[in-house]
Structure 1
Amino acid sequence: METQQLDSYMPESARDLEGWKLEPSAPSTCKRIRDSRVEIATQKTQNSHFFFSSRIEILFLMAAERYRPVSIEDLPSQLVIEILSSGKLSAIDLLHLELTSRTFGGSHGLYPHKFGSLVDYAAYQLCVSHSVYGKMERNAQRGLFDRCGGKWKRVLRFLQSVEQSSDMVETSAGNMQITTGRYHTLLISNSSLYSCGSSLCGVLGNGPETKQCVTFSRINFPSPAQVVQVSASHNHAAFVMQSGEVFTCGDNSSFCCGHKDTNRPIFRPRLVEALKGLPCKQVATGLNFTVFLTRKGHVYTCGANTHGQLGHGDTIDSPAPKMIELPEGIGYIVQIAAGPSYVLAVADNGVVYSFGSGSHFCLGHGEQHDEFQPRAIQTFKRKGIHVVRVSAGDEHAVALDSSGYVYTWGKGYCGCPELLRIDAIVQSKDNHWCCQNFHRCVLESGRPLFSVTTVQYMVVVGWGLAALDFQTGVSDKILSPRILDSLRAHHVSQISTGLYHTVVCH
């Protein structure tokens, strides 16, 4: 395949992503191409398969099971589009391909003239088939497209970043997710789970004999399983497996671990039996309760219910997960977040629902009343704001909308006032179009808001306690977004903040 150096060939359609700090070589792209086997069957070749290898070649399997290497240039454009639109490649992968090959970067007359290259068209197809984009109103889609400078690769980059915001992200050390509790940290690395810190009530998951781990120690499960998502609170944690099963460990005195047969600490991960047959996609842990989101978009809760945070219309505790009866027409829930005693839930139509403690205006209704059932935040609905992700802190909450704007509400003394759109984050250097990755806020005393920008700098707003890493006093406040200079040289992928510590993946 014909390739050229980046400095000698860069099609105009590929220049739109300058500033992403791409390296000239793209080993991670090649690895994904090598690892992701793309099988395409067409009407004319129903018994043929195509494999996309690290050398960007296609191995054509004939009916007689004889292999013949075929150059990418020999393939019809339709097949190239099928490969690029398979969903196996990221927006960065597409850009790497466009920058290094005339086949991907050139125009072949297959698609409307508004697309400058095969990659542009593939990015467009991936966007329109994306679950988040498909649920957006037309004006919201147009708003995102305009904010991205009319570039589909940028739109795709944003949509894929939203997916990673509460999930595993790709880092230099592999696929990871981090989450922090009060005095501990949990880490998923290549589907295995690790913990370190103080083991209050068995929250580290390594048995009653473990009181503290100063380095990461692997957590073993009853049977081999791949961990895909984790959530940690002060004294308990919950883990989602690739199968959809959920395990929990830690303090179960309030039955927040979902095991109604005991209120004693759970020192090793234990399967939540009540959720058998209900595969989950996400868990969120509050101070003494847990929220479960199933793959079908149903929400279950268990544990303490002092403020109605279980969402069942009462204040009765639940020792086992119980499904919330959502109002008619509420739609499919796609993401959840739990504060100390309140819950935020995002529906597929972009509406945000909240319930639980109304303290500090964290529910977003402009009043401090507790809500015992899910209630839509009307400010977003009235303004036609399509929310894609939320995060729940101790005394404030944050939302990311479909155009990349960040909104905060709650107690305002640390720079997080009620329903304020933070424009400064998206107007910072090299970052005029959207906030890339969106992550959770800190719980308890140290209350900063962290966000990762387009060029993967870390932006911070909040209160000192040395967690912000600025040269300020412990009580100093950062009331407007500022880039964390100490991490400016790193490509930050994910952030999580505990009571007295912050963990960053890059």
Structure 2
Amino acid sequence: MLGWCRMLVKRSLIDAGGNWKHVVRFLQSVDQSSDLVETSAGNMQIATGRHHTLLISNSSVYSCGSSICGVLGQGSETTQCVAFTRINFPSLSHVVHVSASHNHAAFVMQSGEVFTCGDNSSFCCGHRDTGRPIFRPRLVEALKGVPCKQVVAGLSFTVFLTRQGHVYTCGTNTHGQLGHGDTVDRPTPTIVEMPEVVGSVVQIAAGPSYALAVTDDGTVYSFGSGSNFCLGHGEQHNELRPRAIQTFRRKGIHVVRVSAGDEHVVALDSCGFVYTWGKGYCGALGYGDEIDKTTPELLSILKSHLAVQVCASKRKTFVLVDTGTVYGFGWMGFGSLGFLDRGPSDKVMIPQILDSLRPYHISQISTGLYHTVVVTNRGRIFGFGDNERAQLGHDTLREGLKPTEIFLQETASEAGLVSGSG
């Protein structure tokens, strides 16, 4: 940790003319951007799934959108929430981290306990009961006594990061995405054996069928499906165990954060530089073309900016810089890239500032399949893109090309809950 802090300070001092306040803000922003962010309205975290959104606000969790397989955690009677609605937890512990995926969700409590809900037919929720979806958050019993600090939901699998820097996985393992050296599914979280020289893991990320782990010495390990070159090794072979990405090692690059998209990956290093690799379709890598990158490459067009968060999803990428400005590139995806002057299927080939967000200082951004949600430093929430299933927290809006503010429902009785058997 000290190593990358020194490099951050050096880069920040050069760019900021010795302004220590700037350095401190930068360090805090990098540390918070992927987890809880401090806003003037309290601590918040936003997480977008395929057709839904989850939000932590002051230790409570809210959900909106489609409740397929129980991903909203609102009970079997709810098929949709048309406004952000509080999720009731069986524990008194405060929620400090949340992850959303296509068919399940995971929550980390202040105590380190993990709760999950959604479709557990693939064991991705970490429970042996696969007979029916889990409609309300349930404690992952197998991790009792193993406090966690982060959890990420992939497609039918889950990765857990403990406070001691160990990684556990469960769920589908067709491509080796669980990292255990085989393709055998795991019904409950099982520890991943990392190479002996590895330090503590400090951050994890998961794509549809692959996973990434960043260690405290700045090394990135990848495992699972090698399709689209997302593992960063220059080939498309599956990796059944964690394997270090050598490009970063050879160049002495200390990575601090990664974001795993459907077909590409974005990384942030200790100097605030951004790297991308994987499938270049629609300009998602930001190099002005659609050429695949088999190993990580520096996105030099953003080299003059201090990036503090990177966010990848389906053929699109966002980069948040320390000034609170957001850059986007890739596929517009029904307006989810946020450019008001582009069509719903257009491509943005190089990073461009989202003018629609210029009036706000953005603290965090998360993007799903066709929608994107941001949190400002004042605790305001804005969403844009597809809202066909109320994933932007509005009942009548169908497509929000312009960022629309989202509000919370304090009690379930006030919320627009839609019930049904489907």
TM norm structure 1 = 0.70
| Alignment-derived partner of residue 6 in structure 1 | none
Deviations 1:475-504 (A, max 9, x none): 221111100111101111111111111111
Higher RCO (C-alpha 8 Å, min separation 6):
2
The 2-side partners of 1:461 and 1:359 are apart by: 22
Paired with 1:497 and 1:143, the residues of 2 have a C-alpha distance of: 29
Q: CA deviation at 1:261?
A: 3.2
Post-superposition offset of 1:474: 2.5
Deviation at 1:319, TM superposition (A): 0.3
C-alpha contact 1:307 1:357 (8 A) present in aligned 2: yes
Contact 2:7–2:271 (Cα < 8 Å) also in 1 = no
CA-atom RMSD in angstroms: 1.6
Matches within 5 A, 1:368-407: 368-407=236-275
* Contact 2:7/2:270 (8 A) holds in 1: no
Distance 2:39 2:350 in 1: 28
Match of 1:475 in 2: 345
Tell me, yes or no, if the aligned pair for 2:259 and 2:312 is still in contact at 8 Å.
yes
Q: Does 1:255 align with 2:123?
A: yes
Paired with 2:3 and 2:147, the residues of 1 have a C-alpha distance of 23
Q: Identify which of 191, 213, 225 aligns with 1:323.
A: 191
| Alpha-carbon separation, structure 1, partners of 2:338 and 2:197 | 45
Letter in 2 for 1:341: S
Alignment of 1:283-294 (within 5 A): 283-294=151-162
Q: Once the 2 structures are TM-superposed, how far is the Cα of residue 139 of structure 1 from its aligned partner?
A: 6.5
Structure 2 unmatched runs, 5+: 286-291, 377-422
Cα distance in 2, alignment partners of residues 364 and 354 from structure 1: 8
Counterparts of 1:329 and 1:483, CA distance in 2:
40
Output the CA distance in 2 between the equivalents of 1:459 and 1:171. 21
Change (3 A) 1:159 1:140: closer
Name the counterpart of 1:162.
30
Which one of 292, 306, 309 corresponds to residue 438 of structure 1? 309
CA contact (8 A) 2:96 2:108 kept: yes
Question: Where does residue 302 of structure 2 map in the other structure?
Answer: 425
Higher strand share goes to which structure? 2
Distance in 2 separating the partners of 1:503 and 1:380: 31
Kept in 2: contact 1:360–1:410 (CA 8 A): yes
Give the 5 Å matches for 1:19-418.
132=1, 134-136=2-4, 142-143=10-11, 145-415=13-283, 416=285, 417-418=292-293
1:504 matches 2:381: no
The aligned amino acid for 2:367 is: T
355, 360, 364: which one aligns with 1:494: 364
> Whose Rg is larger?
1
| Structure 1 pair 501–138 and aligned structure 2 pair: CA distance change class (3 A) | closer
Q: Which residue of 2 aligns with 1:4?
A: none
What is the CA–CA distance in structure 1 between the aligned matches of 2:246 and 2:141, rounded to whole Å? 37
Residues 38-76 of structure 1 show CA distances to partners (whole Å, capped at 9, x for unaligned) of xxxxxxxxxxxxxxxxxxxxxxxxxxxxxxxxxxxxxxx
Number of residue equivalences: 365
The answer on whether the counterparts of 1:144 and 1:402 sit within 8 Å (CA) in structure 2 is: no
Q: Which residue of 2 aligns with 1:31?
A: none
Question: Which blocks of at least 5 consecutive residues in structure 1 are unaligned?
Answer: 1-131
- Conserved 8 A contact 1:231-1:238: yes
For the structure 1 residues 271 and 409, does the alpha-carbon distance in structure 2 shift closer, same or farther, using more than 3 Å as the test?
Answer: same
Matches of 2:7 and 2:142, distance apart in 1:
42
- My pick for the range that moved more, 295-304 or 493-502, is 493-502
Partner residue in 1 for 2:402: none
1:166 shift after superposition: 1.3
Question: In the aligned structure 1, how far is the partner of 2:267 from the partner of 2:49?
Answer: 21
Which whole-Å deviations, capped at 9, do the CAs of 1:88-137 have from their partners, x for residues lacking one?
xxxxxxxxxxxxxxxxxxxxxxxxxxxxxxxxxxxxxxxxxxxx3x1339
SS of the counterpart of 2:312?
A: coil
The Cα of 1:333 is off from its aligned counterpart by: 0.3
Find the aligned partners of 2:8 and 2:92 in 1 and give their Cα distance.
43
Aligned mates of 2:310, 2:33 — CA distance in 1: 6
Letter in 2 for 1:399: A
The match for 2:403 is none
Shift of 1:454: 2.3
SS across alignment from 1:211: strand
Deviation at 1:157, TM superposition (A): 1.9
Residue 172 and residue 140 in structure 1: after superposition, are their counterparts in 2 closer, same or farther (change >3 A)?
A: closer
| TM-score, L = length of structure 2 | 0.83
